[in-house]
Amino acid sequence: MDRIRVIGGNQLNGIIPISGAKNAALPLMIASLLTSDTLTLENVPHLADVEQLMRILGNHGVDLSVNGRREGQTETYARTIQFTCRTVVDTVAPYELVSKMRASFWVIGPLLAREGKARVSLPGGCAIGTRPVDLFLESLQALGATIEIDGGYVEVTAPKGGLIGAHYTFPKVSVGATHVMLMAATLAKGTTVIENAAREPEVVDLAACLTAMGAKIEGAGTKTITIEGVSSLHGARHRVLPDRIETGTYAMAVAMTGGDVTLEGTNGALLENALDALRQAGATITETETGLRVVRNGNGIQPVDVVTEPFPGFPTDLQAQFMALMTRSSGVAHITETIFENRFMHVQELARLGAKISLSGQMARIEGVSKLKGAPVMATDLRASVSLVIAGLAAEGETMVNRVYHLDRGFERLEEKLTRCGAVVERVSE
């Protein structure tokens, strides 16, 4: 199993290209199930989760064509992929595929809308909380679906004439459930109104792609989304938006180590709350013609309190990285996690590097220390894994991050991007 070896102490200076967003690419890929035409997606990152979803879509009958690779580039560069599902050959998403990645459960919406039925295994993914699927199922029931759960599978059936538009209010904000209901409603008869919808940029990106495919959608990016159902969707070409979590991660790495890095191909509007927190911590962040410039020279890291919230609040997917940054602050910071109940598993690993962190329910108290010291650590989930890399960049000596398959699920070419900016980071294969 691969490990990541980090030697701390170097500032980061240079350019880091930001990849397409994993959390946008996955629902966009799943949207290809809604049409028999070809959906072409540009800027698709090369990640383990993307590869796994490609296998799942192939199981349903989606033909894939990967192109756009330039001579001399490795396969790990962002790609243009064509997805064509002339016929859905199987409406079953089996356990052995779905259990490996939670987002694969989202195929339930398009399969139900297009074929009138689906049998999908209950999902797997990172162990960061229970994350039940009740909101998914309740929203599909609102569209007229009949649902049964049997043997670890969810079986959904549409009414004889197809799904029917409805007015539905989510009892709590859910990005995944908003994705699923949005996709299903595009082919429902009549008008669907989604209240308390997720406002994340990835939802807006999906809505833009679906609109290019012929859907009629208004209000994406607000709490109320209105969908006028159409009889069919057609093909389209769409570019995956920049990864705001990767953007924030590298911005925090610069704030942690010091230096001057341009994050190329990204957009600060995608994560304004997180960037504000970084500015309070002592980083200088400015918009450039090509992206964002992040600088921290001289001054230390200031303690900043944050609370994770749905967009436009501070992203839960940046909580672990920000905690790593706060371990080196000049005071005491507090981080409150309101989205997932088990998302502090990285605390004990950061403590192995010398961090002083105490937990009280969903709040972490981080007392900054003057130095961290390298040690072997274990990645517990996707975002926690990269927080350990960030801490290792500022630690004395060697940090060895184990179980980096989590890292490969969400960060494209991490070692290469950091190494080009002066970090000492390498993959060690056993």
Phi, psi (rounded to 5 degrees) for 387: -65, -35
Of 22, 30, 77, 17, the C-alpha closest to 50 is 22
154 labelled ligand-binding: no
126 is catalytic: yes
The CA distances from residue 116 to 109, 164, 187, 301, 316, in Å, are 10, 12, 11, 55, 35
Task: Consult the annotation and say whether 133 binds a ligand.
Answer: yes
Tokens 């538009």 locate to 165
Task: Please report which helix (H) or strand (E) contains residue 193, including its range.
Answer: strand 191-195
Query: Residue 186 in contact with residue 204, Cβ under 8 Å?
Result: no
Structure tokens at 172: 């709590």
Cis bond leading into 201, ω under 30°? Answer: no
The answer to the question of whether 37 is labelled as a binding residue is: no
Q: Is residue 143 annotated as involved in ligand binding?
A: no
> What SS3 state is found at 64?
strand
Q: Is position 299 annotated in a ligand binding site?
A: no
Helices 48-60 and 22-30: crossing angle in degrees, nearest 10, is 0
Does the annotation place 174 within a ligand binding site?
yes
| Dist CA 313 CA 323 (whole Å) | 16
Q: Sign of the C-alpha dihedral, residues 244, 247, 249, 255?
A: negative
386 appears as a binding residue in the annotation: no
Bridge-based pairing of strands 79-84 and 284-287 is unpaired
Q: Does 27 belong to an annotated binding site?
A: no
Phi–psi pair at 83, nearest 5 degrees:
-115, 120
Other C-beta atoms within 10 Å of 360: how many? 9
What is the spatial distance between Cα 299 and Cα 301, in angstroms, rounded to a whole number? Answer: 7
What are the structure tokens assigned to 133, written together? 């699927």
The response to whether 160 counts as a known ligand-binding position is no
Q: 175 a known binding residue?
A: yes
What letter does residue 389 receive in the DSSP assignment? H
For the packed helices 108-115 and 175-185, what is the interaxial angle rounded to 10 degrees?
10
> Contact at 8 Å (CB) between 198 and 175?
yes
**Residue 188's closest CA among 227, 234, 136?**
227
Of 85, 126, 209, 421, the catalytic one is: 126
**173 labeled part of a ligand binding site:** yes
Confirm whether residue 134 is marked as ligand binding: yes
Binding residues for UDP-N-acetyl-alpha-D-glucosamine: 102, 131-135, 172-175, 317, 339
Active site residues: 126
Binding residues for phosphoenolpyruvate: 22-23
Binding residues: 22-23, 102, 131-135, 172-175, 317, 339
